[in-house]
Chain A
Amino acid sequence: MLRYAVRRLLSLSLTLLVASLVIFVAIEIVPGDPAAYMLGMNAAPDTVAALRAELGLDVGPVQRYLNWLGGMLSGDFGTSYTYRTPVVDMIGDRLMISLPLALYALTLSTLIAFPAGIIAATRRGSAADVSVMGVTQLGVAIPNFWFAMLLVLVFAINLRWFSAGGFPGWDQGLLAGIKALTLPAIALALPQASILARVMRSSLLDTLDEDFIRTARAKGLSTRQTLWRHALRNALIPVLTIIGLQFSFLLAGAIIIENVFFLPGLGRLVFQSISQRDLIVVESVVMLLVFAVVVVTFLVDLAYAAVDPRLRRTN
Chain B
Amino acid sequence: MLLACKDLSLSINGAPILRDIDFQLSAGKVLGLIGESGSGKSMTAYSIMRLLPGGSEIGGSIELDGNDLGTFSEAQMCQVRGNDIGMVFQEPMTALNPLLTIGDQVAETVRVHGDASRAQAQQIALDTLRRVELPAEKYSPARYPHELSGGQRQRVVIAMAIALRPRLLIADEPTTALDVTTQAQILTLLRRLVDEDDMGLILISHDLAVVANTADDIAIMRNGRVLDSGPARSIFSQLKHPYTQALYAASAHVPARAGRRVDRAAPLLVVDQVSRDYRLPRQSLFGPRRYFRAVDEVSFTVYRGENVGLVGESGCGKSTLTRAILGLDAIQHGTITVGGEPVLAGMAMPRELRRRMQVVFQDPYGSFNPRHRVARLITEPFHLLDNPPTGSARSRAIDEALESVGLTTADADKFIHEFSGGQRQRVAIARALIIHPELIILDEAVSALDVSVRAQVLDLLAELSGRYQLSYLFISHDLSVVRSVCDRVLVMRRGKLVEQGTTNQIFEQPAHAYTRELIEAVPRLPEAPG
Contacts and interface: CB of A to CB of B under 8 A. Distances in A.
A220 B51 contact: no
Interface stretch (B82-90, B328-336, B506-514): B82-90
B95 interface: yes
A158 interface: no
B99 interface: yes
Nearest to B51: A217
A219 B89 contact: no
A218 B97 contact: no
Which of B75, B91, B112, B146 has the most CB atoms of chain A within a 10 A radius of its CB? B112
B95 A215 contact: yes
Interface in A251-270: none
B87 A210 contact: no
A229 interface: yes
A221 B112 contact: yes
Question: Interface size for chain A: under 10, 10 to 19, 20 to 34, or 35 or more residues?
Answer: 20 to 34
B160 interface: yes
A212 B281 contact: no
Contacts of B81: 217-220
Interface in B67-104: 74-75, 78-83, 86-87, 89, 91, 94-101
A65 to B, nearest CB: 26
A308 interface: yes
Contacts of B51: 214, 217-218
Contacts of B49: 218
B160 A215 contact: yes
A217 B95 CA distance: 11
A309 B144 contact: yes
A160 interface: no
A220 B80 contact: yes
Interface in A211-237: 211-212, 214-222, 225, 229-230, 233-234
A228 to B, nearest CB: 12
Interface string A285-315: 0000000000000000000000111100011
A309 B161 CA distance: 24
Contacts of A222: 74-75, 78
B122 interface: no
B97 A212 contact: yes
A220 B94 contact: no
Contact of A308 (B89, B94, B96, B99): B99
Interface residues of B, number: 34
Given A212-B94, A212-B97, A220 B109 contact: yes
A220 B79 contact: yes
A229 B105 CA distance: 11
B377 interface: no
B94 A233 contact: no
Interface string B143-160: 010100000000001001
B281 A219 contact: no
Given A220-B78, A222-B78, A314-B281, A211 B83 contact: no
B78 A230 contact: no
B95 A220 contact: no
Interface in B151-184: 157, 160-161
A221 B78 contact: yes
A104 to B, nearest CB: 30
B108 interface: yes
A215 B46 CA distance: 12
B144 A315 contact: no
A308 B99 CA distance: 6
Contacts of A214: 51, 89, 95
A79 B51 CA distance: 69
A125 B320 CA distance: 44
B394 interface: no
Contacts of B118: none
A220 B110 CA distance: 10
Interface string A197-221: 0000000000000111011111111
A216 B96 CA distance: 9
B98 A310 contact: yes
Contact of B96 (A212, A314, A315): A212
Given A219-B108, A220-B83, A307-B99, A211 B78 contact: no
A210 B94 contact: yes
Which of A215, A217, A220, A221 has the most CB atoms of chain B within a 10 A radius of its CB? A220
Contact of B112 (A225, A308, A309): A225
Contact of A233 (B95, B99, B144, B281): B99
A288 to B, nearest CB: 29
Interface string B271-299: 00000000011010000000000000000
B99 A219 contact: no
Nearest to A3: B284
23 contacts: A211-B89, A214-B51, A214-B95, A215-B87, A215-B95, A215-B157, A217-B51, A217-B81, A218-B51, A219-B81, A219-B112, A219-B161, A220-B78, A220-B81, A220-B82, A220-B83, A222-B74, A222-B78, A234-B99, A307-B99, A308-B98, A314-B281, A315-B280
Interface of B: 49, 51, 74-75, 78-83, 86-87, 89, 91, 94-101, 108-109, 112-113, 144, 146, 157, 160-161, 280-281, 283
Given A215-B160, A218-B49, 17 more contacts: A211-B91, A212-B97, A214-B51, A215-B95, A218-B82, A218-B89, A219-B112, A220-B82, A220-B113, A221-B108, A229-B108, A234-B98, A234-B99, A307-B99, A308-B98, A309-B98, A315-B280
Interface of A: 210-212, 214-222, 225, 229-230, 233-234, 307-310, 314-315
A-B pairs, 10 with minimum CB distance: A220-B82, A211-B94, A218-B87, A219-B82, A220-B81, A212-B97, A309-B144, A219-B109, A211-B95, A215-B95
